[in-house]
Structure 1
Amino acid sequence: MRPRLPMIALAGWLFADLLLAFSIVALGTQDPPPRPRATPTPAPTPSRLALERRYVQVSLNVDPDAAARGDESAVQAIRRAVRAQGPRLAGRRAGIVLTFGAQHSGGEGFANDVNRLLPRADGLLFGDVATRDFQLLGASGGAVLLNIYLFYDH
């Protein structure tokens, strides 16, 4: 024999079912929200800038304390190393520079200090460059390695 449900329990289920049915009817009778009008957007203009696949690697030594302070001696060290590359970098613009720095207290902070000095060392080459900081392992403090990705020279 099956147990009987009390009448109050059946009334609760009936109320819930009716509430669900009314909700569905109410949602179905509402107007949909207005569709946004399509505004003509100009087609993106293709950029003529592209990065070369190969990078120019520049090795140098910079005093980590001078780089942290932004001293002119650190800027000059970067400038000399870049100019030593001659025509490979002269008159060119860099798109990305990966900077590897060796310092005993952590190379990423040192690499960041060097990256902040790049525009002062060569405003044309490093004027609007994206940089990334890395730690250089297995090198003595003050060693810097720059991997410079240049924009393609049309």
Structure 2
Amino acid sequence: MRRRTSGVAPRHLAGWLFADLFLVLFLVVLGMTTSDGPDEAAGAGAGAGKSPRPSPSASGTSPSPSPSRTAKGPLGLDPKRHTFAVTLSSGATGRATGRGGLSATDRRKVVAALDKEIRASGDGRRIGMVITFGVAPQAQLGAATDLAEDVNRTLKSARPQAFCGGNVGTRPFWSGGSADRVEIELYYINACEGRG
């Protein structure tokens, strides 16, 4: 009879390995496609000022980063991640299974948390990548991943102007813990040329 051992099964580590490899590949591709053109070099040498911080409009919509090329640090994806967590309503993880989705209250919570993070750390930049972890016990691994995917869809549809174009990478993953919670990692683009 085989003895059971404690720890994380190797198949669950594959998701983490994939996330790390995806991030490295994304950074390499961005580094290859971003180049210092003469206009960028001249703008940096001429003491180009920092874009003003986005502020919410009177209608209560999200802060919208400037579409201009904001140069803060090296061009491309800023490697510094900005992490925030959102506690959702009771049963949100279970409702996410299959074709389920976020409730209107939970959608408002994740969008408000995104707006708050952009105001605190965005500096006029747009989002270049989002990794969302659905937090739940291992028994709800699939539902937690579905929840993370629902959150990613909500963020992109509710705040498209905050993202650097339509091809921004979003990835859903699972993380162990108490259910009905998500952890979101944002990575900003230092020079977004996308307009939509």
What RMSD in Å do the two structures reach over aligned CA positions? 2.8
Deviation at 1:122, TM superposition (A): 1.7
Amino acid at match of 2:175: L
Deviation at 1:90, TM superposition (A): 6.4
Please identify runs of 4+ aligned residues in structure 1 that moved more than 6 A.
Answer: none
Per the alignment, residue 171 of structure 2 pairs with: 132
Q: Following superposition of structure 1 onto structure 2, how do residues 37-116 of structure 1 map, counting pairs within 5 Å?
A: 46-47=34-35, 50-62=76-88, 63-64=92-93, 65=95, 68-85=100-117, 86-89=119-122, 91-104=124-137, 105-106=140-141, 107-116=144-153
Q: Using a 3 Å threshold, how does the CA distance of structure 1 residues 78 and 47 change in structure 2: closer, same or farther? A: farther
Q: Using a 3 Å threshold, how does the CA distance of structure 1 residues 46 and 59 change in structure 2: closer, same or farther? A: closer
Deviation at 1:144, TM superposition (A): 0.6
- Count matched residues: 110
On the 8 A contact 2:132/2:148 being kept in 1, the answer is: yes
Structure 1: how far apart are the matches of 2:111 and 2:169? 18
Per the alignment, residue 179 of structure 2 pairs with: 141
What percentage of residue pairs aligned between the two structures are identical? Answer: 27
On the 8 A contact 1:92/1:124 being kept in 2, the answer is: no
Q: Using a 3 Å threshold, how does the CA distance of structure 1 residues 91 and 74 change in structure 2: closer, same or farther? A: farther
Structure 2: how far apart are the matches of 1:54 and 1:91? 15
Structure 2: how far apart are the matches of 1:100 and 1:52? 20
TM-score, normalised on structure 1?
0.59
Paired residue secondary structure (1:77): helix
**What stretches of structure 2 of length at least 5 have no aligned partner?**
1-31, 37-74
Structure 2: how far apart are the matches of 1:123 and 1:72? 18
CA deviation digits over 1:47-92, x for unaligned, max 9? Answer: 5661001011121123333793343322211111112222413643
Deviation at 1:130, TM superposition (A): 0.9
Give the strand-richer structure, 1 or 2: 1
**What stretches of structure 1 of length at least 5 have no aligned partner?**
1-43
TM-score, normalised on structure 2?
0.48
